Amino acid sequence: MVFKYGGTITIGNNVYIGENSNIRSGASIDIGNDVLISHNVNIIDTNSHEIDYLERAESYQNLLKFGHPSEQGAVETAKIIIEDHVWISYGVSVLKGVTIGKGAIIAAGSVVTKDVAPFTLVAGNPATFIKQLN
């Protein structure tokens, strides 16, 4: 899904995206070649809502009245890059502003909040380094 106020999703060659996975963009999401994205994965480059509670309440009321906004407003977004040969396992969430390096593996159930170095395995919430891969 691309938000009405903007966003792009670019998907390379030989990419698998599993059932019930969601990719939502308000900025930019670039997925490289030969990437495996398992089931129930969420990749989102935006907070989707304002941080300030009053702005968030007003925005929600406007959404109900007028539909999705054409202007980004105070919603924070940041590009996501998933490089070639990455494997993202079951139930992972990849949050805004993250780059996942070439050949990296994201373990099941992880929440990726920071960049992942190439050819590493990360796991957990938040995802942390487990080991270097060959």
Residue 49 annotated as catalytic: yes
- What is the token pair recorded at 55? 């702005």
The residue from 39, 49, 68, 85 that is catalytic is 49
Active-site residues: which are they? 49
